[in-house]
Amino acid sequence: MTPTLGVGLIGYAFMGAAHSQAWRTAPHFFDLPLRPELAVLAGRDPARVAAAAERLGWAGTETDWRRVLERDDVDLVDVCTPGDTHAEIAIAALEAGKHVLCEKPLANTVAEAEAMAEAAERAAARGVRSMVGFTYRRVPAIGLARQLVAEGRLGQIRHVRAQYLQDWIADPAAPMSWRLEKDKAGSGALGDIGAHIVDLTQHITGQLVTGVSAVLETFVTERPLPAETGKLSGVGGSEMGTVTVDDAALFLGRFSGGALATFEATRFALGRKNAIRIEVNGSAGSLAFDFEDMNVLEFFDGDEPAETAGFRRVIVTEPEHPYVGAWWPAGHGLGYEHGFTHQVVDLVTAIAKGEDPTPSFADGLQVQRVLDAVERSAAANSTWTEISP
Ligand SMILES: NC(=O)c1ccc[n+]([C@@H]2O[C@H](COP(=O)([O-])OP(=O)(O)OC[C@H]3O[C@@H](n4cnc5c(N)ncnc54)[C@H](O)[C@@H]3O)[C@@H](O)[C@H]2O)c1
């Protein structure tokens, strides 16, 4: 009989639903060393959390996340709430001896992220594990990209070009949400989506961002307060609220292995819905990825004869590709939710083996330092700003 891993999940909206399906699905497709049990879902409104638990498959509910930490049927706390709550919940959970999966960005400030990384280190010494939810690492094409770089197929990495483009607030009438409030979200496009491309490019190249020069812009400073909330943006009412975060973040960067990088994160790229575009050029080859075509990785092999060389469109659905063997026959693509399932698989496997999963809270802290350097650079007229290790 496979031992169980009791899960308590906090927050039941977008990420709550994505993580719920991952906890439900992972043991049905992957041979997991621990069987996740969806023990308890926590929110604040009793009726809404009960309805969500019923819909998403959770056995019980709590209306105060602190009660989740006291429960014996919970071994792991999954934090799917906005950034202003991450540090308090995650540190308390680790101190209560619960493993933690915490959504990204790890925190709203470097100080919070430092406290979380310290708590994670103390907990790890007691066998309590933690992971930050940079989910896109688990897209098979991204896994393949990292593999190609690690195998030396790209040679020396010279350029990293990364964009995360969305358009859900391009309309000035799109209403306020917590994502547009600094005290809740920490920053805007920078922390929400820029954090992903910092993590992804570091993950693919195996190098760290060491310095940045940045600009930030808020195009729409006043928006209607929401009359009702929807998936990302909801519907606006007649009263207005003030946007206190960036709408777009652009920065140049240097990587520890000598590569030069450009980063662009915006929610104003009209027509681009979730375009995570990464191109890496090395001395021996190049690769390119776009999440809007997420089952494909483009690869250019510089060793091929010039007559026939060109970017090759690799459909990353072969059983040899990362995670894919557990799913469907070749060519039957995967989607957004599979990354979350793979995240659960890697986390549960690490816990069962007694290993620290990645990305760790220390990795999350390092990304936070990059975000902080971007903000400081932008505030100082794009001054070159080093990232302290
Ligand atoms: N990994 C990814 O790709 C990805 C994608 C989207 C969001 N995120 C991250 O996930 C987190 C949540 O984002 P979301 O899009 O799910 O937001 P959301 O607004 O859809 O959901 C937030 C949930 O948290 C609940 N909540 C807020 N404060 C709470 C509290 N004190 N106690 C209990 N519940 C509380 C809300 O009621 C809601 O259910 C954020 O950190 C965000 O950056 C990650």
Render pLDDT for 14-29 as a digit per residue (tens, 0 to 9): 999 999 999 999 999 9
- Tens-digit pLDDT profile for residues 321-365: 999 999 999 999 999 999 999 999 999 999 999 999 999 999 999
Q: Before 357, cis peptide (omega within 30)?
A: no
Is the four-CA dihedral 216, 220, 222, 224 of positive or negative sign? negative
Looking at every residue in the chain, the average pLDDT score rounds to: 97
| Atom in ligand 1 nearest the alpha carbon of residue 135 | 1
Of 10, 12, 15, 273, which is best to mutate to test ligand 1, by the most ligand atoms within 8 angstroms of its C-beta? 15
| Atom in ligand 1 nearest the alpha carbon of residue 177 | 19
pLDDT at 232 over 80: no
Please, what is the end-to-end C-alpha distance for the chain in angstroms?
44
Band (pLDDT 50/70/90 cuts) for residue 389 is confident
Task: Give yes or no for residue 11 CB within 6 A of ligand 1.
Answer: yes
144 CA to middle of ligand 1, Å? Answer: 29
pLDDT at 141 over 90: yes
Task: Give yes or no for residue 44 CB within 6 A of ligand 1.
Answer: yes
In the chain, the percentage of residues whose pLDDT exceeds 90 is: 96
Band (pLDDT 50/70/90 cuts) for residue 388 is confident
Q: How confident is the model over 205-230, as a mean pLDDT?
A: 93
pLDDT confidence of residue 238: 83
Q: How confident is the model over 293-307, as a mean pLDDT?
A: 98
34 CA to middle of ligand 1, Å? Answer: 26
Which residue in 178, 179, 103, 100 sits closest to 136, CA to CA? 103
Task: Give yes or no for residue 61 CB within 6 A of ligand 1.
Answer: no
Of 12, 14, 66, which is best to mutate to test ligand 1, by the most ligand atoms within 8 angstroms of its C-beta? 14
| Atom in ligand 1 nearest the alpha carbon of residue 52 | 39
pLDDT confidence of residue 272: 98
363 CA to middle of ligand 1, Å? Answer: 20
Band (pLDDT 50/70/90 cuts) for residue 228 is low
Q: How far from 2 is each of 32, 38, 77, 130, CA to CA, in Å?
A: 8, 15, 20, 22
CA distance 262 to 260: 7
- Tens-digit pLDDT profile for residues 238-248: 899 999 999 99
| Atom in ligand 1 nearest the alpha carbon of residue 15 | 16
pLDDT confidence of residue 96: 98
- Tens-digit pLDDT profile for residues 183-192: 999 999 999 9
| Atom in ligand 1 nearest the alpha carbon of residue 42 | 33
- Tens-digit pLDDT profile for residues 72-121: 999 999 999 999 999 999 999 999 999 999 999 999 999 999 999 999 99
CA distance 161 to 279: 5
Q: How far from 266 is each of 4, 197, 276, 287, 289, CA to CA, in Å?
A: 41, 12, 11, 22, 18
CA distance 341 to 337: 7
Band (pLDDT 50/70/90 cuts) for residue 212 is very high
Task: Give yes or no for residue 103 CB within 6 A of ligand 1.
Answer: yes
Band (pLDDT 50/70/90 cuts) for residue 193 is very high
Structure tokens at 171: 């309309």
Which residue in 305, 291, 267, 324 sits closest to 30, CA to CA? 324
CA distance 265 to 56: 31
| Atom in ligand 1 nearest the alpha carbon of residue 86 | 41
157 CA to middle of ligand 1, Å? Answer: 35
Q: How confident is the model over 16-45, as a mean pLDDT?
A: 98
Band (pLDDT 50/70/90 cuts) for residue 236 is confident
Of 12, 58, 81, 177, which is best to mutate to test ligand 1, by the most ligand atoms within 8 angstroms of its C-beta? 81
Band (pLDDT 50/70/90 cuts) for residue 231 is low
Task: Give yes or no for residue 186 CB within 6 A of ligand 1.
Answer: no
pLDDT confidence of residue 229: 62
pTM for this model (two decimals): 0.97
pLDDT at 10 over 80: yes
Q: How confident is the model over 293-297, as a mean pLDDT?
A: 98
| Atom in ligand 1 nearest the alpha carbon of residue 16 | 16
- Tens-digit pLDDT profile for residues 301-319: 999 999 999 999 999 999 9
83 CA to middle of ligand 1, Å? Answer: 8
- Tens-digit pLDDT profile for residues 264-291: 999 999 999 999 999 999 999 999 999 9
Task: Give yes or no for residue 13 CB within 6 A of ligand 1.
Answer: yes
